[in-house]
Amino acid sequence: MKLDLCLMGAAAVCMAASADALEFEVVHWWTTQTESAAVRTLAEAWTATGHSWIDGALAGEDACALMVNRVVGGDPMDACVPINIHSLQRMWLSNAAFNDAGLPVPTNWDEFVARADALRAAGKLPMAMGGQP
How does DSSP assign 74-113, residue by residue?
T---SBS-S-----TT-----HHHHHHTT-PPPSSHHHHH
Q: What are the counts of helices (DSSP H) followed by strands (DSSP E) for the chain?
A: 5, 2
Decide: helix, strand or coil at residue 54: strand
Predicted confidence band of residue 20 (pLDDT cuts 50, 70, 90)? confident
Return the H-helix or E-strand segment holding 25: strand 23-28
On whether the pTM is more than 0.75, the answer is: no
CA distance 3 to 38: 17
Predicted confidence band of residue 89 (pLDDT cuts 50, 70, 90)? low
Closest CA to 28 of 2, 52, 62, 75: 62
18 pLDDT higher than 60: no
Q: How many residues does the chain have?
A: 133
Please state the φ and ψ torsions of residue 79, each to the nearest 5 degrees.
-150, 145
